[in-house]
Structure formats: structure tokens, C-alpha cells
Amino acid sequence: MTLAFIRHGQTNWNFEKRLQGSTDIPLNDTGREQARAAVAVLDGVDWEVIVSSPLSRARETAAIIAAGLDIELGPAYDELVERDYGEGEGATAEIIAERWPDKAYPGLESLDSVVARGIAALERIDAEYGDRNTLIVCHGTIIRYTLAALAGREFDQILNGSVATFERQGEEWRVLSVNDEPLTEIVN
């Protein structure tokens, strides 16, 4: 079974460089185009189903890709929601630097919690879809830190509309690519 994380397309908050987190902000036109562009990157693998976070930006990205690949649009999983940045959500870099220079936003979800949710989602998707090649549309932070836990190494920012592939081998997960690049070519 091959799986791929896809980060949702761009939103206005992404464009404005606002901290988005679990706030439900919709895709913008650039984000919709990024979702359509992801279809070309995904071509060549026999993808069977696509699932997502329930947030509208992820769900719409999944629907666009499902239509482009002519595959099943599966359910949304609450475990795939983006990290909750608490009071930092909606803030620009300038506001963050002024109010929370240490980035310790009141109400911030821990990275351990984010990774635990990401791993739980993968286990649930694996249990529900078995050996079907499955696409998973969600969010930058949960993708970045879940992949880091699977690969045992850090990754840089996950780009909007990018694809990260991985597979299950027995009880282990193996990361194959991040941000549309094979893992062997990724240098931090």
C-alpha cells in the first residue's frame, strides 16, 4: 500500500502569511489551481481513494483531486485537523513577534499531540483501507511532524499543494518523498 499526504491548496490567510491552524479558512483561486496541479504529480500511481481533514480547505482540495483522478472521495477524519495555535490563529508575523516572540501562544496544542493524532489517523486509514493506495489531504504542520516521526528526521516547511509519499512495510512506515521530491534528494 502506498499513501500520500497532500497539503491543501493556498488560502487567503496563507497568502497574507497569517497563522492559520485549526481555523476553517477556505481555498482561494490559487489554492484551487494548486489542487489541480497536484493531479499531474499524482499521475502514474493507481490511486484508489482520497480522504481528508474535515476543514474546508482540505476537503475542497480532496474533492478537486478526486475528480481529476476519477477516484473515490472518502471520508474526513477529525484526527487530521491542523494544529491548534490557540490565540495565535489569524496573527501575522509582526503581531506574533510583538505579542508572542517565543511563539508560546495561549492555547497552543503540543507537537506531541499533533504527531499522536497524525499517527492515529494513519493507523485508522490503514485499518479501513487495507492495501488500497490512498491519498490523504491535510495540513502543513501535521504532515511535517508526522513524517518526521515516521522517518526519524526533521523536514522543512511543507508547501501548499505538495505531495509526500510513504508506504507501510509490515509494522514500519517508510517515507519516499516530501514536497514532490524523492527523500534521497532532500537536504535540510
Is residue 7 annotated as involved in ligand binding? Answer: yes
Is residue 85 annotated as involved in ligand binding? Answer: yes
Q: Which residues touch 57 (CB under 8 Å, ≥6 apart)? A: 8, 9, 11, 24, 25, 26, 27, 31
H/E/C letters for each residue in 132-176?
CCEEEEECHHHHHHHHHHHHCCCCCCCCCCCEEEEEEECCEEEEC
Is residue 105 annotated as involved in ligand binding? Answer: no
Which stretches within 43-152 are classed as H helix?
Answer: 56-69, 93-99, 111-129, 140-151
φ/ψ of 81, rounded to 5, equals -60, 150
Is residue 12 annotated as involved in ligand binding? Answer: yes
Is residue 8 annotated as involved in ligand binding? Answer: yes
* Residues with active-site annotation: 8, 82
Is residue 11 annotated as involved in ligand binding? Answer: yes
Is residue 99 annotated as involved in ligand binding? Answer: no
Is residue 179 annotated as involved in ligand binding? Answer: no
**Which residues belong to the annotated binding site for substrate?**
7-14, 57, 82-85
**Which residues belong to the annotated binding site?**
7-14, 57, 82-85
